[in-house]
Amino acid sequence: WFCLDWFSVVLQSSNSLKASYEDWLLTYGLSVSPFHLRWQTALFNRQFYNWGRWKPKFLYLWFSVGMVFGVVAMFGSVLLLGKTLLQTLTQMLTEAPNAQNDRMLQVVVSVPSSGLCLRAVPGVNLPISQLTYFFSAILISGVIHEVGHGVAAIREQVRFNGFGIFIFIVYPGAFVDLFTTHLQLISPVQQLRIFCAGVWHNFVLGVASFMVLFLLPAILFPFYYTGVGALVTEVAEDSPANGPRGLFVGDLVTNLQDCPVYNVEDWNSCLGDISKKSQVGYCVSAATLQQLSFPARVYRRLDGTVECCSNNSLTDICFSYSNKLDSYLYACLPARKVIEASKICRTNMDCHKDFVPSFCVTPSLENQTRLIRVKHPPHIDMLYVGHPMHLQYTVSLSSFVPRQNFLSIDLPVVIETFCKYLISLSGALAVINAVPCFALDGQWILNSFLEATLSSLIVEKQNRELIGFLILLAGSALLAANVALGLWMVTAR
């Protein structure tokens, strides 16, 4: 941006090049300002006019429904932002340690002069690897939003000057250029149809994306099947699941401990249950226990748990079990031999079978650490020791298994992820733009709504404008407070 702005300033300061540079910008519809690049064109005007004149009765009904939605969304967005602000303040005052775990994506909103930009903090609340989805979803949501305004304006006989896109810092957006005089001459209800069309189209885009996401198994059924497990699509280099006996791309996970896995949701649910519940044990006969165990020094860790194996051991784990006197004993055992072909148990009572003396031996691990058996046939089971969430965050999976080897295992994941971003960001654009705030669609929706409803009750236009100004001031303050606290929550903490 520095180079671009410096280059533009130099050309505009040159007496010999200034005229040519400005003519070149005008010819191609370009505009350059600090951290802002804008392009406008009339190339799509014919297409917009074709859309605006297609089935007038249907478009009238379409944008009338959108008008009702926009007005409801304006009031709803205030309630939603108010509730969000109260929740954020409550979280700040109580300093809830686990509140951050529930935040999938916290969007920080900023409003540049030429449009709305939804902003996340890369590397803090948005993975760098998903920036392509993020920016693409913002651009598409912005384009659909502005197409709504443009088509509705043409439907209401407002002159359409052009369509354009812009980049503000690194965030893309779109805009339409309408003839302001025509816009001011039409009735307030007609204005409402135009101003509400953007949030209405964003809502429709979000619903359409949700339907694609919901119906994706049926859409991809000829090429992919589901319900048989979770397919590994990526294992991070620093993942504890990486290694010769770990997980590999293309493996199909079917079980975590005794929890069956049929899709990615089951994988996440099973890991969540494993992290919340206590460590499961394994039934081992007294004879096998005596054969496998070997003498070892027992000592307590700082958290109170017991260790009885060498710290250098990669195959042995300290197990605890209770005898008939209900006192705990400890044995250092080879983990794989204990777990394979063993029944999962919670107490010794679960292991009584055929009068063979057996014990329920439980791994003696540090707090929050679990021993997890991951089944991914036909490969040997992976034995994972660590925090369950580390396994969840470093292994990417898909619920879709290709029917043919040449089909990409990443395609369903790409579609799923992109639909989720469209739902999130298009919905966010609809909510934020509906807020009665200066420089957003909500400002014009509010003004037209007040003119349409209060003109007979409050005759003086000056008084109506004062009421609108006070509401806009309150809405702007509410949005600014949410933005400031949201930015603090995703950065300072």
Residues carrying an active site annotation: 146
Q: Kind and range of the H or E element at 64?
A: helix 56-94
Q: Kind and range of the H or E element at 479?
A: helix 461-491
Read off the amino acid at residue 151.
V
Read off the amino acid at residue 38.
R
Structure tokens at 21: 């540079």
Of 237, 214, 243, 238, nearest to 226 by C-alpha is 214
Q: Is 457 helix (H, G, I), strand (E, B) or coil?
A: coil
DSSP state, residue 380: P
DSSP state, residue 122: B
Distances in whole angstroms, Cα of residue 31 to Cα of each of 8, 167, 342, 404: 10, 11, 71, 50
Is residue 154 a contact partner of residue 50, using CB atoms and an 8 Å limit? Answer: no
Distance CA 489, CA 103 (A): 10
Strand partners, 398: 231
Of 148, 125, 142, 138, nearest to 195 by C-alpha is 148
Distance CA 230, CA 391 (A): 14
The residue whose two tokens read 């044995």 is: 331
Strand partners, 356: 353
Radius of gyration of the chain (CA): 31
Is residue 247 a contact partner of residue 253, using CB atoms and an 8 Å limit? Answer: yes
